[in-house]
Amino acid sequence: MATKKICVFPGDGIGPEVVREALAVLGTVEKISGTCRFETEKDLLGGASYDVHGVPMTDRALALARASDAILLGAVGGPKWDVLPFEVRPERGLLTLRRELGLFANLRPAVVFTPLVDASPLRRELVEGIDLMVVRELTGGIYFGEPRGVKTIDGVETGTNTEVYTRPEIERVARMAFDLARKRTGKITSVDKSNVLESSVLWRKVVSEVGAKEYPDVALSHMLVDNCAMQLIRNPRQFDVMVTTNLFGDILTDEASMITGSIGMLPSASLGGKAGLFEPIHGSAPDITGRGVANPLATILSVAMMLKYGFDMPAEAAWIEGAVERVLAEGYRTGDIHREGEGKRVGTTEMGDRVRDAVQKLSQKR
């Protein structure tokens, strides 16, 4: 039996609560599948690490991540740490982890589960059947470019961030996106701001060249980011795979999350290095921490992405995805996706229990 080592960073806020449920689902998959053993080891990241060690990520935590086959993360950050110097805020630990592990591509699916069609703020006919994938470049762009910082220049306090992309950075994330598009509908949209930004001029040029030379069977279109933000609401069905920069991807995927009904439903996978990083796209939600009401489904679905993209276990990933669909179809809802008078409102633990039970039932139909 194969063994996979998983580094677990529960993180801050609701992170430990949703990670607990996701690991329990993974444990159920392990027992049923019988083909792979999962070894997990936990460490601190983000604000939790700062509170204990004075840094958002220790050398030991980074070494553990490097020695693992995959990393599962809950969430980092929160108002508690907003007063800290920028270089030791919780988010710096996550950014460093992405950079040090070479995780240059962030896959963020936005899927509208049939039972949640009416939870979307958009009309049913706009969102029914939506299944799109945003590929966000993750280790370049304005989040990492130099120079950066806040300085006083000629007596004026000035904040600076630099948007920088190189050809190799664009080529590698474009190839990953084209590969995904080829396996899906054969359609990809590249999103930039090439009418204003020189970095986007290069982005569009390189993506076009990669598509023409290496993926002639994939239909490529380009869209400016402001138009894309509008089109996501106006007609989200026109998109399948989208590839874009670090900053634009961060913003557009949060917008896409609302199409699905709640940001608590969206998982993600960060790929490119030896080990992938799998995490929900939601934050630490300090306002509901410890109340047992957080939605664990995004983290559970992140485990499904780990199985699919990290461990090449698509059948087991499908059990989890099917289980989530089934539980939602049975009417179970956490507070963020619950509508008055519809379904049964449940907490974090019960939702996790329901998903595990559904995994058991679906696996028996193999």
**Which residues are catalytically annotated?**
143, 193, 226, 250, 254
Do 78 and 56 form a contact (C-beta atoms < 8 A)? Answer: no
CA distance 191 to 199: 12
Beta strands at 276-280 and 70-75: parallel, antiparallel or unpaired: parallel
CA distance 330 to 344: 9
CA distance 355 to 321: 9
Do 165 and 144 form a contact (C-beta atoms < 8 A)? Answer: no
> Hey, which bits of 43-170 come out as E strands?
70-75, 105-111, 131-137, 145-153, 156-162
Do 117 and 69 form a contact (C-beta atoms < 8 A)? Answer: no
Respond yes or no on whether the N-terminal peptide bond of residue 314 is cis (omega within 30° of 0). no
End-to-end CA, the chain = 20
CA distance 215 to 194: 22
CA distance 111 to 136: 16
CA distance 130 to 192: 22
Q: Six-digit token pair at 317?
A: 């990933």
**In Å, what is the CA distance from 230 to each residue of 181, 183, 194, 261?**
22, 27, 17, 18
